[in-house]
């Protein structure tokens, strides 16, 4: 566990030593509840503000709203993805490019893109809240965004563990499963990696166990072992490995998803890309997708995209000029255009 991740535990340990031995467990729990309530109020009020603005402007059936989840402690290697959301936002609006997407949508139009800020993950953990409750807070935050129609969540990670509570929230809010397009170097479907059921390497096992997805398509896979393949067969996952990408390209650039379910969810781990395009990731896996490969898949997928996430960008491993931040920002921009209509 990182020094940052230990702060909340150390705080509780201090409460259990003199002169704080009189602090009861019930009092600590009340304090935790107040922090959680304040966190949800923050997201709720921001979502209301953005939703009212979009509705006032009119003409939008679906509008993308960014929600940051700066969580990195469920990473099995480096925890730098916790610092990604502000770096992605900075890159989106840095001024080095214009504010139009490739398909011509204007990001400065609130009907295309708004932002409700971050779930205050570290503050919640600092008061000793465990991951069961933290995952619930993330899910509730996503639901608060979705309550403000026509807002739809585009979540900035964070490590890939956040996809589980986000997809769970989207599915529960819409009242049924979704189809998931998952771009990644890894299948992230271990049953319980290193004893952590919320590991970033186990997020899609939790999603499939919960029945939150009908179809799961995994694209860009090039680091998979026997358990990953067995878990894929167990859950009926459609795994497209990079070693056969040239053969699969036509299928993947003409996907039709979401029919008969509540829509399509897109999850992009930045390490789906070859490290030549995105070096700022925790797990560098050569032999990945090109940036244009990813955009072609996103642009051409047919279906109602009801939510998405971009995860596993690690600013601590990025180049000095922020190359991977710009890559992640471009992914966000194009996803926002795909969601909004």
Q: Is 269 annotated as a binding residue?
A: yes
Residue-wise pLDDT tens digits, 204-251: 999 999 999 999 999 999 999 999 999 999 999 999 999 999 999 999
Report whether 191 belongs to an annotated binding site. Answer: no
pLDDT recorded at residue 8: 52
Within 13 Å of residue 217, how many CA atoms lie on the same side as its CB? 19
CA–CA gap between residue 280 and residue 131 (Å, rounded): 26
Share of the chain above pLDDT 90, in %: 92
Give residue 308's pLDDT band: very low, low, confident or very high (50, 70, 90): very high
Measured in whole angstroms, the distance separating CA 36 from the mean position of its chain's CA atoms is: 20
Alpha-carbon gap, residue 219 to 272, rounded angstroms: 8
Q: Please say whether the beta carbons of 139 and 169 come within 8 A.
A: yes
126 marked ligand binding residue: no
40-53 pLDDT per residue, tens: 999 999 999 999 99
Whole-number Å distance between alpha carbons of 327 and 314: 12
Instruction: Check whether 188 is labelled as a binding-site residue.
Output: yes
pLDDT tier at 11 (50, 70, 90 boundaries)? low
The reply, when asked if residue 186 is annotated as ligand binding, is yes
Q: What is the pLDDT of residue 6?
A: 53
What predicted TM-score, i.e. pTM, was given to this entire model?
0.94
What tens digit of pLDDT does each residue of 238-263 get? 999 999 999 999 999 999 999 999 99
Distances (CA, A) of 75 to 22, 146, 156, 317, 325: 35, 27, 15, 15, 19
> Which tens digits make up the pLDDT trace of 62-112?
999 999 999 999 999 999 999 999 999 999 999 999 999 999 999 999 999
CA distances from 188 to 50, 132, 153, 261 (A): 33, 19, 22, 23
What b/e readout covers 173-202, taking b as 16+ CB neighbours within 10 angstroms? bbeebbbbbbbbbbbbbbeebeebbbbbbb
Give the mean model confidence (pLDDT) for residues 126-130: 95
Residue 271 assigned as binding residue: yes
d(CA 324, CA 38): 33
Distance CA 38, CA 58 (A): 30
How high does pLDDT run on average in the chain?
94
């Amino acid at each position: 566990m990182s020094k940052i991740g230990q702060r909340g535990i150390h705080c509780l340990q201090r409460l259990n030593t003199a002169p704080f031995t009189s602090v009861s467990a019930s009092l600590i729990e009340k304090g935790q509840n107040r922090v959680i309530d304040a966190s949800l109020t923050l997201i709720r009020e921001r979502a209301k503000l953005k939703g009212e603005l979009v509705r006032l402007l009119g003409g939008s059936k679906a509008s993308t709203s960014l929600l940051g989840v700066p969580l990195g402690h469920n990473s099995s290697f480096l925890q730098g993805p916790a610092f990604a959301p502000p770096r992605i936002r900075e890159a989106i609006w840095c001024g080095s490019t214009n504010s139009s997407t490739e398909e011509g949508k204007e990001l400065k139009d609130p009907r295309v893109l708004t932002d409700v800020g971050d779930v205050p993950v570290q503050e919640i953990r600092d008061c000793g809240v465990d991951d069961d409750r933290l995952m619930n807070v993330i899910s509730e935050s996503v639901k608060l965004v979705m309550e403000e129609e026509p807002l739809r969540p585009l979540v900035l990670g964070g490590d890939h563990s956040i996809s589980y509570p986000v997809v769970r929230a989207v599915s529960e809010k819409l009242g049924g499963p979704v189809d998931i397009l998952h771009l990644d170097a890894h299948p992230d479907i271990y049953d319980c990696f290193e004893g952590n059921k919320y590991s970033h390497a186990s997020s899609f096992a939790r999603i499939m166990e919960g029945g939150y997805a009908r179809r799961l398509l995994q694209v860009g896979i090039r680091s998979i072992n026997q358990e990953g393949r067995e878990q894929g067969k167990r859950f009926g996952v459609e795994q497209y490995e990079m070693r056969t990408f040239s053969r699969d390209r036509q299928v993947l650039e003409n996907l039709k998803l979401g029919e008969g379910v509540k829509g399509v969810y897109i999850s992009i781990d930045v390490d789906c890309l070859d490290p030549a395009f995105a070096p700022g990731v925790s797990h560098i896996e050569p032999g990945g997708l090109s940036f244009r490969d990813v955009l072609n898949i996103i642009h051409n997928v047919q279906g109602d995209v009801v939510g998405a996430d971009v995860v596993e960008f690690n600013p601590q491993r990025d180049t000095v000029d922020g190359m991977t931040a710009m890559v992640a920002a471009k992914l966000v921009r194009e996803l926002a255009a795909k969601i909004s209509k």
